Structures are given as C-alpha cells and as structure tokens.
Structure 1
Amino acid sequence: MKLATFLHENSEQWGFVWADPVTAELRIVEPGLAEAALAGSGGGTSGYAASRPSFLGTWPGTLADFLALGDEGMAVLDRLERFLARFASQSDATILDTISHAVADVELLAPIPRPRLCLGLVTNSPSFARANPRIEHLNLFPVAHQRPQGTVVGGGAAVLMRNGHHDPLMSFNVELGVIIGRGGREIPLNEAMRHVAGYTNVTDVAGTYYYGRVPGNAGRGYSLPAEYGDWFFQATASWGGKIADTLCPVGPFLVTKDEVGDPYDLLVYTRQDGRQRDRAHTSATILGVERVIQWYSSFATLHPGDILHLGTMGVDGLAIPREVVERREVVLESEIEQLGVLRNPVQVVPVGERVPFDRHPSYAIRRAAQEPPTDAATWHPDDARHVFTAFGNHIGAPGEGLPRLQVPRFFTGPASSLGADGSRVVLPARATVVEVTIELAAIIGRLASDVDPDDAESYIAGLAPVVSLCDESFGDAVAEPARLGERHIPAVYGRWGDGFNVIGALEPQSGRWRGRRMRLDSGDESISGSTDDYLDGAAEMLATISAVTTLFPGDVILLGRTAATLRLPVSGGVVAGEVEGLGRVRAEIVRASAGGATDGEASA
C-alpha cells in the first residue's frame, strides 16, 4: 500500500494511493471520506449495506498519528481498501469522485511533512571506505546527523540554494528512507523491523555555504583550512551543508513494508535532468535498518513518523557545479525500485533576497509562520522542535582540542533531548559515568531566518538555566585505531538521550547574559563558574545558525558546556544547577535496568 500526505484547500490531509480503474490516473483516497461514503451508499437496497465490515469511524488527522495505531490501524486500512475495491468494481465506481483527489491536482507533501526526527547516516557505504587510506578499519556504530523540519519537502517542491550555498558546487544522492510506525525504546535487534511502517525515497542534498563562511575559504567547496581540522569539524563539517532549508526532499509516498518486501534488494537510480548519474543497490550499506533502530532506541525513544535515512549507497556526493545550477533549472531525480520517483527542481535565490515564509517550499516553515510568537510565561520544553548546541564555546575549549575559531561550532539535536525542571532522567543500562554541566539556554521567540546580528537579540524570547548530561558510555563503542572524529563523536550523541538537557523556567529576555554566576551541585560535590566563560552569546549563535537554517518559535539554543562540569558515577541522585538571575533547575538521575523497556516506557 502507498500512503501520501497532501494539501487540499490549505488543509493537510492524508490517504492511500489508488489507480482509477478507468483512466489509471493516480488518486489519493481519504479514509474518513471513504468510510462515510460507504456507510451512506445504496441506502437499504444495496447488499453491501449488510456486508460492509467495521472500520475506525474516526480517523486520525495526520499520517503520523495514523501510524501510531500500529499494525492494528494498518489492518483496518487494508480492510477498507479491499472492500472499497470490490465496491467500485461490482457496484458504483463513481464513489471515487467524492472520496479522492487526483495526485496531479494537489500539492504533494513529504509523507511525514513535519517529522519530529529526521536522522541521516553518513559513512555508511562500503564505497566510502573501500579506497580511503585514512580508514584503517570500520567502526560498526552509526554516525548520523539530524535535519531540522525546514529541510524536508515533498516531490515537486523547489530545492533552494540561497546565500551562495551552491558556490562552487552542490551535491546530491539518493538514500533509502525508513519511516517508523510503532514507537519504542530499547528495541532489540531481532524486533526492530516490527517498528517499521514502510520506506520512501530521500534525496540527500548538500551545499557549501557553511564552508564559505570560514574566512578565506570562499569558493573552496568542501575543503577547510588546516586550523579547522579539529575533531568536531572532522566529524561533522559535511553535515553543516545538509541542514539548510529544503535540502531533504522525501517521497513521493510511504510504501508499506509488506509491499516492498526485502528492503536490501532494491535497485537505486540517481538522475539529473532525466540523465542517469549513478546506479546502486540498497544492499550497499554497512549498517542496516535493524542496527540503526537498535542503536538510536538504546538512548532515545523512537516515535511514529520518525524518518531514518541510511546514507548513500553509490557514489558519495554527485557534484553539480555552480555554473550549471545558475545557467538553467536543474531537476534532481531519485528512484528506488518499488518506491516511485521523486523529482525536485533546484532554484537559486539571489544573494540578499529573502524567501517569503508564506510562500516557502517547506510546508513546515509555512505552518510555523502562522504561529504566534513564543509566550515566555507559558513556554514549555515540549514546544521546541529543534535544539541547537554550541561546541567549543568556552575559554577552556582549546585545551580540549577545540581551538577558538571565527565561525561558531554548532550541531542540531532532537527536541526530545529536552526535559522540564524537576524531571527524571533515565540513563541507559550500559552507562557508568555521566558528565553533568550547568549551561545557559536561549529560547527563540519568532521564526528566524537570515537574522542580522544587530537584530538578533529581538528574536530571543528569554534565557533559562540548563542541567545537561552527557553519557560517556557512547565512547565504549569506538574501536581503535579510530579517526579523530570517530573518537570524539560520543560527545555529541551522549547529549541526545531523552530529557538529557533539563531546562528551567524561561526568564524574559533581559539583554544581559554575561556576568552571571553559575553553580552545579550533586550530593557533596559542587562546582562554580560564570557565563563570562562563554565565547559567543545567544545572539551570535542565532545569527550564525539562521544563515543556514530557519529556527522556529520555541526552539532552543544551548550555549554549551563550560568549566562548570562534574563527572559522576551513575549511582542515582539529584543534580541541581543555578544561573544567577535566572533561577535554579533540578534533575533526578536514574539508570535503566538491564534489558530496558520497550514501546516508549523507560524502566528505572
């Protein structure tokens, strides 16, 4: 079965894809309309009135909400589709006119147009390592980045190259997208496929704007000066070119796993303007669906509608030079056998020109543009859709291998890593030592894109104290000899666990973030610091991030760790932090029992 999300009269709808039995035209059937029409068809004279099975009655409003119904929901939808097919062929085929929409007549969105999680793997192809002299052996743990919601677009939507993001080139690949159906935590390897709803095409697009911002580096593509060769840039620099708005087309449909069959036996085609650029196979991955699900769910809950894409399976980064992109419209085309064809035109936005939010190709950004500004009095961590964390942003960072640079380092993390003041933080059973820090957070007040540094303060709704945890057990999965980036990447993923960043009450923006004392207490241990230890403040970070991607109202920027850090054995207890003038924040730390819990319930 193929499932789709689309816009009809500016309303987000979803349904299953069906070919018109007369014209073969693809149509999207809305389940709620179909059930209602079948209930009212033929009155009491139709034999179908007596044979019609029961369905859901009330159908979820979004595809992600439907996927939360799990296998039971899929079974009901399958029953509806089969009954409708019999009714149309044996009774009244005109029912299609009132319950469906031609695909050609609607705006087809990504199957999950506002994904909570869009996690992309890198270095997951044998071709990446086969002839790379820097790789002595493969570390079999996922290396992945998260894309913000504004990156995701559906088929036909424009891929935007703004701020010279295509200079001197852009690149793209086709990747296998996995959409989660049944959520869960601590999912065993042999049960991982039970949590998959289906598959889709993902076009992984990257630009070079992030690199061009490095002084003296404009026009050098994906190369960086030697001083930017620290572990953070080695591990994550290519990802900075992937988080820009619209650079993750997804679709055209979600194809259910029963229809696909073996996800590792599909041909993959990458085309540009209809001409083939690469051919590959979905078996060409180092880590498959099962291990990625097992790994991510070991520290964070997967939810219905989450998207995982497994990395390139062929040539890594098919380049398109700037001259080609600027001379004519380029169309990117991704096709994976059985999943359909995903086509997206590339549009260059002249430097200095802004894309109106209400006409943006990203549906998520258009939706966010309709939201009111963040209310400091009612804001809750659940309101955040993105978390951006600064790395190497304190005066002691050079001693940790992160020298001061002119371009602030930052990384995107899952919003589920935020927790409310006083919440319980459940560490994985494997955890033995946790690093705990007191940090400063800024909450975004309104939609922010290409924010002028002089105006950045006005976009910040307020500040809050944060107790942040980093699970050091991630480092145990790294086998030596490892590359520098592999050795240190646990410092990123170690902060991604559910509720690992416990945030206090939001204080409305006071305009002063420097000169505030910070304190962290855990039992008999305590440590103090100051916000003066930060190199860049929230306004500087916001200006940097918004030049690449759009921040939404309620999003969070964490200024990162300082020297006010404790390393604690995982034995349970309470950690309390305070930032002068912003109040206190408290977290209870426990460790999950061996084996953990599934289906979203973490054990303690």
Structure 2
Amino acid sequence: MKLVRYGALGREKPGLVDEAGTLRDLSSVIDDVDAKALGREGRARIAEIDPKTLPTVAGQPRFGVPMAHVSKMICVGMNYAEHAAETNAQVPEQPVIFMKATSAIIGPNDDVVIPQDSIKTDWEVELGVVIGETARSVTVENALAHVAGYLVVNDLSERAFQFDHGGQWVKGKSADTFGPLGPWLVTTDEITDPQNLHLWLEVNGHRYQNGHTRTMIFNVAQLVSHISRYMTLLPGDVISTGTPSGVGLGQKPPVYLRPGDVIELGIDGLGRQRQQVRAHIGDERTT
C-alpha cells in the first residue's frame, strides 16, 4: 500500500494511492496516518479494503508528510563506503547516528529554504524507514517486524554549520525545511527487500547521486536493532539510513545549493520528490 497525507499544510487528510496511481480518500476508514494506522493491525485493516470503494480525490493536491506524528528522526552517517571516501571519513565500525530536529520535516515537494548565513547547503537522497511497532532492544532477526514501511528522504545539510560550528552534526542537519519526506509511505508488503532499491538525485537536471541500498555498510535490520538498544523507537519514527556518494561536498570543487535550484530525487517503488530552493526571508517559517 501507498499511504499518504494530502492537502494544505496543517489540514492534511489521510489517503491511499492505488495500483493505477489514483489518489483515494481514506478519511472514512482512519482518522489519520497515525500510530494506530501504522501498526500491524491497522495496516491489515486498511489492506482489506478494496481501493475502488474509496472516493477519488480530484485535482493534484499537495502531498504532506506521510505520517501524522514523528516523535524522532534518527539519521545514520557514513553508511555507504563510497560516501565516506568522498568526504575523507573512515568507514565506521558501528553505525554513526545523530538526530535531525522534527521541525525540519516538510512535505516531499515543499520549498527548501537556504538558512540565514548559509554558504554550504547540500543534498542527500536516503532511504527512510518508518517504525510501525514499538521497538526496544530488538534482535536483528526480528527487527523488520517492527517496520511499517519505507519512504524517500532528502537529508539536507549545511556543511559549514555541521563541521565548523563546534563539530555538532545536529546543527547542520536541523534547519527548517531540511527534512522532506514522502511522497508516500510504502508498506512492507510491497517492499519485501529494502536492500534491493536504486536511489538517485538530480539538481537542475544533472544527476549527482546514483546509488543502491545493497551497498549499505549496515543494512536496515541491523540499523533498527542497533538504534533500539539506545532509545525506544515509536510508531511513526523515521530512520534515515545514509546517503550514497555524489553529495555536493564531494564534488571537485564542491557544489552547493543556491536560490532557484531545483532538486529532484527518488527511490525505486517509493516515488519521487521535487523541491524548489529559495532564499531565507525573515525569521518565520514560510513553507
């Protein structure tokens, strides 16, 4: 299933994209794409419905964040050996994890805003893992049973903030609009092997990233298990599993985002995103 939330910011409704690509309204079935809907029982209930019995949604509404509530967004650094090499980093012996502020999360096609005083805003296409069942110290063998589905993530970064402002990655990862998610959450019945997905990213039509999840250093099951040792994972939480090579920092010379740029990215079976990049204006969030 492809679960979505559609409509104006703050007024999104739950929806489902059927096999023909038609957006259908789920409001009569669930209140929202929340913890109840993401659990095994909730997903099974939705799966029993014939999509053709659901009302179609006219036009081309905005897609919002596919989940109604994300309590945590946990990111994994240096999880592709070729990306570690292009940034002159060592291949890690254990997963490198850090947090991205949930205030950074936006819809898949919302504008990306370059932060005030930014000089090195960068892109990163990543596979996102959405938790469906509470996970505490789960084994690798049982880890995927706690996953509701997968989605596309653009883990945007401000490299000067990340490396030069005290060496704390969270600073460079958490600006408003730095976490586009979606367009939809694809449940695990459709994505049976998260290590068999091609992912790509383009800026202004130029392809910079062209990777595959089979080359992850730590696979999805290992990541869910490892992270659940250190914190409880809740339904709706997102694990962003790292990016392949081709980020702006790794270009020679480096290339960073500028106002007017267009970012397009996608993952096999999970859809694609498109963001217009614009300059920071004032102190308010305007997406």
TM-score (structure 2 length as normaliser) = 0.88
TM superposition shift of 1:139: 4.0
1:109 to 40, 46, 64: 64
Deviation string, structure 1 residues 547-598 (Cα, Å, up to 9, x no partner): xxxxxxxxxxxxxxxxxxxxxxxxxxxxxxxxxxxxxxxxxxxxxxxxxxxx
1:119 to 74, 84, 88: 74
Q: Secondary structure at the match of 1:185?
A: coil
Does the 8 Å contact 1:113/1:154 carry over to 2?
no
Deviation string, structure 1 residues 128-151 (Cα, Å, up to 9, x no partner): 34577763xx44322111111211
Higher Cα Rg, which structure: 1
Counterparts of 1:302-341 in structure 2 under 5 Å? 302-317=233-248, 321=255, 325-326=258-259, 329-341=260-272
TM superposition shift of 1:27: 1.3
Would the alpha carbon gap of residues 128 and 160 (structure 1) be closer, same or farther in structure 2, given more than 3 Å must change? same
TM superposition shift of 1:240: 2.0
TM superposition shift of 1:209: 5.7
Report what 1:460 is aligned to. Answer: none
1:100 to 56, 66, 71: 56
Counterparts of 1:227-246 in structure 2 under 5 Å? 233=167, 236=168, 238-246=169-177
TM superposition shift of 1:258: 1.4
Task: Indicate whether 1:64 and 2:34 are aligned.
Answer: yes
Separation of aligned partners in 2, 1:27 and 1:110:
15
Deviation string, structure 1 residues 342-383 (Cα, Å, up to 9, x no partner): 111111125xx233x5xx32xxxxxxxxxxxxxxxxxxxxxx
Does the 8 Å contact 1:205/1:247 carry over to 2?
yes
Counterparts of 1:441-590 in structure 2 under 5 Å? none
The number of equivalent residue pairs is 284
Separation of aligned partners in 2, 1:240 and 1:103:
38
Q: Whose helix proportion is higher, 1 or 2?
A: 1
Q: Secondary structure at the match of 2:18?
A: strand
Report what 2:139 is aligned to. Answer: 188
Report what 1:47 is aligned to. Answer: none
CA-atom RMSD, angstroms?
Answer: 2.6
Report what 2:283 is aligned to. Answer: 354
Task: Indicate whether 1:149 and 2:78 are aligned.
Answer: no
Report what 2:222 is aligned to. Answer: 291
Task: Indicate whether 1:206 and 2:178 are aligned.
Answer: no
Does the 8 Å contact 2:208/2:247 carry over to 1?
no
TM superposition shift of 1:241: 1.4
Does the 8 Å contact 2:95/2:223 carry over to 1?
yes
Would the alpha carbon gap of residues 64 and 161 (structure 1) be closer, same or farther in structure 2, given more than 3 Å must change? same
Would the alpha carbon gap of residues 307 and 274 (structure 1) be closer, same or farther in structure 2, given more than 3 Å must change? same
Would the alpha carbon gap of residues 142 and 102 (structure 1) be closer, same or farther in structure 2, given more than 3 Å must change? farther
Separation of aligned partners in 2, 1:185 and 1:103:
42
Would the alpha carbon gap of residues 72 and 149 (structure 1) be closer, same or farther in structure 2, given more than 3 Å must change? same
Separation of aligned partners in 2, 1:159 and 1:129:
25
Would the alpha carbon gap of residues 245 and 143 (structure 1) be closer, same or farther in structure 2, given more than 3 Å must change? same
Q: Secondary structure at the match of 2:71?
A: coil
Task: Indicate whether 1:29 and 2:25 are aligned.
Answer: yes
1:77 to 36, 46, 64: 46
Does the 8 Å contact 2:35/2:132 carry over to 1?
no
Separation of aligned partners in 1, 2:87 and 2:80:
12
Would the alpha carbon gap of residues 276 and 25 (structure 1) be closer, same or farther in structure 2, given more than 3 Å must change? same
1:162 to 115, 131, 151: 115
TM superposition shift of 1:315: 2.5
TM-score (structure 1 length as normaliser) = 0.44
Partner letter of residue 138 of structure 2?
Answer: I
Would the alpha carbon gap of residues 158 and 298 (structure 1) be closer, same or farther in structure 2, given more than 3 Å must change? same
Larger CA deviation: 341-350 vs 126-135: 126-135
Q: Secondary structure at the match of 1:260?
A: coil
TM superposition shift of 1:7: 2.8
Separation of aligned partners in 2, 1:265 and 1:282:
6
Partner letter of residue 245 of structure 2?
Answer: G
Does the 8 Å contact 1:5/1:15 carry over to 2?
yes
Partner letter of residue 78 of structure 1?
Answer: A
Would the alpha carbon gap of residues 295 and 26 (structure 1) be closer, same or farther in structure 2, given more than 3 Å must change? same
Partner letter of residue 261 of structure 1?
Answer: T
Would the alpha carbon gap of residues 164 and 280 (structure 1) be closer, same or farther in structure 2, given more than 3 Å must change? same
Partner letter of residue 150 of structure 1?
Answer: S
Report what 1:14 is aligned to. Answer: 14
Does the 8 Å contact 2:130/2:150 carry over to 1?
yes
Would the alpha carbon gap of residues 113 and 325 (structure 1) be closer, same or farther in structure 2, given more than 3 Å must change? farther
